[in-house]
């Protein structure tokens, strides 16, 4: 899978001029606890806010919305079915409403937080507790951070990194056992959609190729501070282990063509401007690779339009529409193109 990227989450946070340099990973021992202590706890952040303004942090700057409902936080953690031996990755811990509940159940937590002020609040919250030695905090951009081993991922996800988060988790090795993730409602519905439904999309197919995805609860906007403009949902992503032997770039290349106009036929989408040329160029590259490795002389050219039509007719997908094609249908079509030397990456 390609490495996830995010333009909005590219800022590297630097400590204040008068402060000593903040390490990328904060170990909760002695000097670090003192260095990252804050004068106000999370209780203040939950009680002093007015409307959609967070009094302590400019959370909307990073797309973060602090989960303030303790019953909901506990329900999310319970859905992960954590074990005492688990190592957990938490993305976007904020001030720690989920973190403190996770720490009670597991061996170790690595929290990746973009905002150093949030990280300082989290450090203060666990300072002096038995759980402080279980927690490491990485301050910085999740999509660029080096990730440790982890069994489970739990995240109240900053909305701007929803897609990069999912695909980075699915490309991480070794695969996590499960991920419990909060997303915008529409994004969650796209993840869990089935063929023939309104939200079935390229995202749905690409994720469900590698994982089982379940919608496990709805979350109203009034459970956050500041309240987002949309409703949220929590999903469970269970990676398939072992993953299917399919290059993500190949499958994604096919779905990019078919879902550009998901209600059009496969024939129409492959007939779109530029697609035939791309397929012919990719076939030519494949042919050169075959010649170089085996010395077998192949055809010098190919009628890509006729070959594509033949493949669509043979597989029975000429008049099929991506909006109703399952992952298995898409794989069958992909393998048919590969058998004729056509590739998508």
Distance CA 80, CA 156 (A): 13
Residue 62 reports pLDDT greater than 90 = no
Report whether 65 contacts 226 (CB < 8 A): yes
The closest alpha carbon to 196, from 336, 48, 320, belongs to 320
Interval 29-55: pLDDT, tens: 333 544 444 333 333 333 333 344 444
What pLDDT is recorded for position 15?
A: 38
The closest alpha carbon to 110, from 125, 97, 93, 95, belongs to 93
For the record, the structure tokens of 141 come out as 């951009």
The closest alpha carbon to 13, from 67, 71, 61, belongs to 61
Residue 16 reports pLDDT greater than 90 = no
Q: Report, in angstroms and rounded to the nearest whole number, the Rg of the chain calculated over CA atoms.
A: 24
What pLDDT is recorded for position 291?
A: 73
What pLDDT is recorded for position 43?
A: 37
Q: Can you give the pTM of this predicted structure?
A: 0.82
Mean pLDDT to the nearest integer, 336-342: 96
Residue 5 pLDDT class (50, 70, 90 cuts): very low
What pLDDT is recorded for position 27?
A: 40
Distance CA 155, CA 166 (A): 11
CA 255, 261, 262, 266 torsion-angle sign: negative
Interval 229-243: pLDDT, tens: 999 999 999 999 999
DSSP calls for 121-134: HHHHHHTTSGGGGG
What pLDDT is recorded for position 124?
A: 96
Residue 103 pLDDT class (50, 70, 90 cuts): very high
Residue 121 reports pLDDT greater than 60 = yes
Residue 344 reports pLDDT greater than 50 = yes
What pLDDT is recorded for position 65?
A: 81
What pLDDT is recorded for position 64?
A: 66
Residue 134 reports pLDDT greater than 70 = yes
Say whether the peptide bond before residue 226 is cis (omega within 30 degrees of 0). yes
Interval 204-225: pLDDT, tens: 999 999 999 999 999 999 999 8
Interval 265-314: pLDDT, tens: 999 999 999 999 999 999 998 888 877 666 566 556 889 999 999 999 99
Residue 69 reports pLDDT greater than 90 = yes
What pLDDT is recorded for position 301?
A: 81
């Amino acid at each position: 899978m390609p490495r996830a990227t995010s333009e909005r989450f590219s800022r590297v946070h630097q400590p204040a001029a008068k402060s000593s340099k903040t390490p990328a990973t904060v170990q909760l021992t002695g000097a670090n606890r003192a260095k990252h202590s804050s004068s106000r706890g999370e209780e203040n952040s939950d009680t002093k806010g007015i409307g959609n303004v967070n009094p302590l942090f400019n959370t909307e700057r990073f797309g973060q919305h602090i989960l303030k409902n303790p019953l909901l936080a506990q329900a999310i953690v319970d859905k992960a079915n954590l074990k005492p031996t688990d190592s957990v990755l938490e993305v976007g811990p904020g001030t720690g409403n989920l973190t403190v509940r996770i720490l009670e159940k597991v061996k170790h937590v690595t929290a990746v937080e973009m905002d150093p002020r949030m990280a300082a609040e989290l450090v203060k919250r666990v300072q002096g507790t038995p759980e402080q030695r279980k927690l490491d905090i990485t301050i910085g951009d999740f999509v660029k951070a080096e990730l440790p081993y982890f069994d489970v991922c739990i995240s109240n996800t900053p909305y701007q990194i929803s897609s990069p988060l999912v695909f980075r988790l699915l490309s991480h090795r070794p695969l996590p056992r499960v991920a419990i993730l909060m997303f915008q409602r529409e994004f969650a519905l796209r993840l869990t959609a089935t063929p023939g439904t309104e939200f079935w999309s390229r995202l749905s197919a690409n994720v469900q190729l590698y994982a089982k995805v379940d919608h496990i609860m709805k979350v109203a906007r009034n459970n956050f501070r500041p309240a987002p403009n949309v409703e949220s949902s929590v999903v469970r992503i269970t990676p398939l282990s072992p993953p299917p032997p399919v290059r993500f770039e190949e499958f994604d290349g096919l779905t990019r063509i078919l879902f550009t106009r998901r209600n059009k036929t496969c024939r129409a989408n492959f007939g779109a401007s530029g697609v035939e040329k791309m397929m012919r160029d990719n076939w030519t590259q494949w042919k050169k690779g075959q010649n170089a490795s085996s010395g077998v002389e192949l055809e010098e050219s190919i009628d890509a339009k006729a070959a594509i039509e033949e493949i669509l007719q043979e597989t029975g997908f000429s008049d099929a529409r991506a909006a109703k094609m399952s992952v298995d249908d898409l794989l069958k079509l992909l393998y048919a193109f590969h058998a004729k030397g056509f590739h998508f990456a």
